[in-house]
Amino acid sequence: MIDENIVKKIQTLRLNITDFEVIKPLAQGAIGKVSLVRGKYDKKYYALKALSKQELLSQRETAFFMEERNAMSKLRTSKYTTSLYAAFQDRENLYLLMEYAPGGSLQRMLEAEGALTIDEAKFYMAEVLLALEELHNLNFIHRDVKPGNILIYLNGHAKLVDFGSCISVGEDQLVSSNVPVGTPDYISPEVLRANEGTVKYGKECDWWSYGISLYELLLLEPPFYSDSLLETYSQIMDHKNTFGWPDDCTLDDVTKDLITHLICDREVRLGKNGAAEIKKHKFFEGVDFENIFNMKPPFMPKLNNPEDTTYFLTEEDD
């Protein structure tokens, strides 16, 4: 028999929600939320993601939580993805304790400052490229690449976050899933076709979303945006005829060339043979991928204190 006193002692040593003071919410999703918290013992600030067990089970997304935790654990030493410090649970929720990014998302930056310059977009998307390269090398697909999931950290560098839609590929380097996953404006045609039940896809679906994100960073709106979800999906499936550039678009030919080679059929999509294909594109000419983390970023967050959430749209702002 195990001594009950020992069990109780172990339970008190385990990390739990009472070890943290919730400062304020940062983001709210369908099955949980992310909050800024402070550790009661180390006084450090973290982002804490809380996922409702009931919602996870009702939406059959428990497996995605495991994939998210596994991917983040394997990316623990990455400079370009958010760090996972701990995972724990209580009766109601599953929790992920993560690195906090006070600079907010690129989506928030677009809303506050307008479109990015070519050089700004190139810097951030070079770092996202490195994040996806690391993730793909571990045989995971992100499946929700978008400006809202690219956060700016205290040092001004970008990191890819939210691995809640992440999935590992099989031995054939493909995913067989009958559930379309991701955010509507950024989903690739092959992921949209997942509900057909016979469609498999690979890591190249992330490069479609990457191309959509680059387009939006430079032009403020994703190319297939519509007030109607059905219309957005219809445009994505018919992208050969619906993809185009705004009449007032002033992007150079090199930038357009990269984007059009990302927003295309998976069989000819740049990146289908690995991230190196994209690194070699003329758009990234002169970018030192090996040392980009040591370079000065385009923007540095300016905070009044550690609890300043200026760069987030919190409930207090509504």
Q: What confidence tens digit (pLDDT) does each residue in 106-161 have?
A: 999 999 999 999 999 999 999 999 999 999 999 999 999 999 999 999 999 999 99
**Residue 182 is assigned to a structural domain of this protein:** yes
Residues 168 and 73 in one domain: no
As given in the structure block, the two tokens for residue 141 are 């697909």
Q: Contact at 8 Å (CB) between 140 and 174?
A: no
Q: Contact at 8 Å (CB) between 98 and 152?
A: no
Query: Which CATH number goes with the domain that contains 91?
Result: 3.30.200.20
Higher pLDDT, 198 or 245: 245
Residues 151 and 216 in one domain: yes
User: In the annotation, is 144 catalytic?
Assistant: yes
Q: What confidence tens digit (pLDDT) does each residue in 222-276 have?
A: 999 999 999 999 999 999 999 999 999 999 999 999 999 999 999 999 999 999 9
**Has residue 6 got a pLDDT over 60?**
no
**SS3 at position 262:** coil
Residue 19: give the domain boundaries: 4-101
Q: Which residue in the list 3, 144, 206, 247 is annotated as catalytic?
A: 144
Q: What confidence tens digit (pLDDT) does each residue in 98-107 have?
A: 999 999 999 9
Indicate the residue among 65, 86, 101 that finishes a domain. 101
Give the model's pLDDT for residue 7: 42
**pLDDT band with cut points at 50, 70 and 90 for residue 53:** confident
**Residue 179 is assigned to a structural domain of this protein:** yes
| Of the candidate ranges 34-43, 165-174, 199-208, 231-240, the one whose mean pLDDT is the lowest | 165-174
Residues 210 and 223 in one domain: yes
Query: Which CATH number goes with the domain that contains 259?
Result: 1.10.510.10
Residues 43 and 127 in one domain: no
Residues 186 and 217 in one domain: yes
Those residues with Cβ within 8 angstroms of residue 270's Cβ, 6 or more apart along the chain or in another chain: 207, 258, 261, 262, 277, 278, 281
**Residue 302 is assigned to a structural domain of this protein:** no
**Residue 306 is assigned to a structural domain of this protein:** no
**Residue 299 is assigned to a structural domain of this protein:** no
DSSP assignments along 72-86, one per residue: HHHTTT-SSBPPEEE
Residues 110 and 252 in one domain: yes
**Residue 314 is assigned to a structural domain of this protein:** no
Those residues with Cβ within 8 angstroms of residue 153's Cβ, 6 or more apart along the chain or in another chain: 99, 101, 102, 103, 159
Indicate the residue among 101, 119, 139 that finishes a domain. 101
Residues 14 and 159 in one domain: no
As given in the structure block, the two tokens for residue 27 are 């983001």
Those residues with Cβ within 8 angstroms of residue 295's Cβ, 6 or more apart along the chain or in another chain: 123, 288
Residues 38 and 151 in one domain: no
Residues 135 and 207 in one domain: yes
As given in the structure block, the two tokens for residue 155 are 């040092």
Put simply, whether the predicted model's pTM sits higher than 0.75 gets the answer yes
Residues 114 and 257 in one domain: yes
Residues 35 and 124 in one domain: no
